[in-house]
């Protein structure tokens, strides 16, 4: 599932080959994942791709009008095509003559014989076109970039929240771009149990978490992301970071650090993988281990 490192890899690939290209046609299959398909199909042909950036897990394609003479100063350029890959979304750049993969629902035909195709088996993704004036609003809904937030601010915020640390890491209004894989991998590296309450963590632990988040994300970008199900980059290549996961989907396997079996429990409604020894469970006020729903999936059974 595409999280920050996967989206960053896709964005870098698109930036290399998409800048300056003009869009000549747009076609859609199913559109239930698109906010404004009519507007997109109408306004994109004749625009040029000016930039490709990432906002958390969103891909942001900046578009400008092509016509050099017609410069209506008051008009709404640039426009931004915003794309979220959801669980199974893929954005690939391919020649128009290539066969169409199943579940491909968006076609952006370019002026060089290629097209940008959006494929999404489960259609949990999202696509929308917004104007320059609404971009700040859109960005404002999102939290800080995890790779940019300073340790001080990170600690200050987490110390003010009573939620479980895993829930906060996943909350896109807090930090934008972290998903289940990198939340679990960061918590393992910081040696923190996912159900710990943020405000109960020490400064030292929060600093460790901040560092772990940034290291894990940077490493994952270096390895071009994790391909655990459908993720591929803009050229259709898989990432390699899944080979370096320490806990994610390793339940029942030995911890790399202490050999204890990795466990999986539900925290914040998400399956959470951790080492019970390296990441000790929080205790509630009666002193007993807080109970977390065990997930049946460990070992061989189910």
Residues taking part in catalysis: 2-3, 57, 270
Name which position in 134, 238, 261, 270 contacts DNA (CB under 7 A). Answer: 270
Site for DNA contains 1 (CB under 7 A): yes
Site for DNA contains 135 (CB under 7 A): no
Least Å distance, CB 45 to DNA, is 27
Site for DNA contains 3 (CB under 7 A): yes
Are 226 and 167 in contact by the 8 Å Cβ rule? The answer is no
Site for DNA contains 172 (CB under 7 A): yes
Name which position in 27, 75, 95, 122 contacts DNA (CB under 7 A). Answer: 122
| Antiparallel, parallel or unpaired: β 23-28 and 104-110 | antiparallel
Are 120 and 90 in contact by the 8 Å Cβ rule? The answer is yes
Least Å distance, CB 297 to DNA, is 6
Name which position in 50, 163, 207, 240 contacts DNA (CB under 7 A). Answer: 163
Name which position in 97, 162, 204, 285 contacts DNA (CB under 7 A). Answer: 162
Strands (E), 39-188: 47-55, 58-65, 79-84, 89-95, 104-110, 114-120, 126-131
Q: Which residues contact 58 (CB under 8 A, 6 or more apart)?
A: 7, 82, 83, 84, 142
How many Å apart are CA 302 and CA 293, to the nearest integer?
15
Nearest in space to 244 (alpha carbons), one of 213, 203, 216: 216
Residue 255 backbone dihedrals phi, psi, to 5 degrees = -60, 135
Least Å distance, CB 252 to DNA, is 12
Name which position in 252, 284, 297, 299 contacts DNA (CB under 7 A). Answer: 297
- For residues 53 and 76, which CB has a smaller minimum distance to DNA in the complex? 53
Name which position in 54, 164, 210, 224 contacts DNA (CB under 7 A). Answer: 164
Are 32 and 120 in contact by the 8 Å Cβ rule? The answer is no
How many binding residues for DNA (CB under 7 A)? 37
- For residues 68 and 269, which CB has a smaller minimum distance to DNA in the complex? 269
- For residues 65 and 194, which CB has a smaller minimum distance to DNA in the complex? 194
- For residues 103 and 238, which CB has a smaller minimum distance to DNA in the complex? 103
Site for DNA contains 281 (CB under 7 A): no
How many Å apart are CA 277 and CA 253, to the nearest integer?
13
Task: Convert 239-268 into a string of H (helix), E (strand) and C (coil).
Answer: CCHHHHCCCCCCCCCECCCCCCECEEEEEC
How many Å apart are CA 205 and CA 203, to the nearest integer?
5
The residue range among 20-28, 130-138, 146-154, 155-163 that interacts with DNA, by the rule CB under 7 A, is: 155-163
Name which position in 268, 274, 275, 279 contacts DNA (CB under 7 A). Answer: 268
Interactions with DNA, residue window 205-244 (CB under 7 A)? none
Site for DNA contains 196 (CB under 7 A): no
Neighbours of 78 (CB within 10 A): 17
Site for DNA contains 12 (CB under 7 A): no
Neighbours of 257 (CB within 10 A): 13
Name which position in 28, 107, 124, 157 contacts DNA (CB under 7 A). Answer: 124
Alpha helix segments (H runs only) across 141-290:
151-158, 165-170, 180-190, 203-222
> Footprint of DNA on this chain (CB under 7 A)?
1, 3, 32, 56-57, 84, 86-88, 102-103, 121-124, 141, 161-164, 167, 170, 172, 179-181, 197, 267-271, 295-297, 301-302
């Amino acid at each position: 599932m595409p999280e920050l490192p996967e989206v960053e890899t896709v964005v870098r690939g698109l930036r290399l080959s998409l800048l300056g290209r003009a869009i000549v046609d747009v076609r859609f299959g199913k559109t239930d994942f698109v906010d404004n398909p009519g507007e997109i199909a109408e306004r994109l042909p004749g625009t040029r791709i000016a930039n490709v950036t990432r906002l958390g897990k969103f891909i942001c394609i900046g578009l400008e009008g092509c016509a050099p003479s017609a410069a209506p100063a008051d008009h709404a350029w640039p426009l931004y095509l915003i794309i979220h890959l959801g669980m199974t979304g893929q954005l690939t750049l391919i020649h128009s003559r290539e066969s169409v993969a199943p579940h491909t629902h968006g076609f952006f035909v370019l002026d060089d014989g290629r097209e940008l195709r959006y494929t999404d088996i489960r259609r949990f993704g999202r696509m929308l076109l917004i104007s320059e004036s609404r971009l700040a609003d859109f960005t404002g809904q999102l939290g800080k970039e995890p790779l940019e937030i300073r340790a001080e601010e990170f600690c200050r915020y987490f110390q003010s929240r009573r939620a479980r640390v895993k829930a906060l890491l996943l909350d896109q209004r807090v930090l934008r771009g972290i998903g289940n894989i990198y939340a679990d991998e960061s918590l393992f590296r910081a040696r923190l149990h996912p159900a710990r309450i943020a405000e109960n963590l020490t400064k030292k632990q929060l600093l460790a978490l901040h560092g772990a988040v940034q290291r894990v994300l940077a490493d994952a970008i270096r390895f071009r992301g994790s391909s655990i199900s459908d993720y591929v980059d803009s050229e259709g290549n898989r990432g390699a970071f899944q080979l370096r996961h320490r806990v994610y989907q390793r339940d029942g396997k030995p911890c790399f650090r202490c050999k204890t079996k990795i466990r999986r429990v539900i925290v914040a409604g998400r399956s959470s993988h951790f080492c019970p020894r390296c990441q000790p469970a929080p205790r509630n006020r009666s002193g007993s281990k807080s109970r977390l729903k065990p997930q049946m999936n460990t070992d061989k059974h189910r």
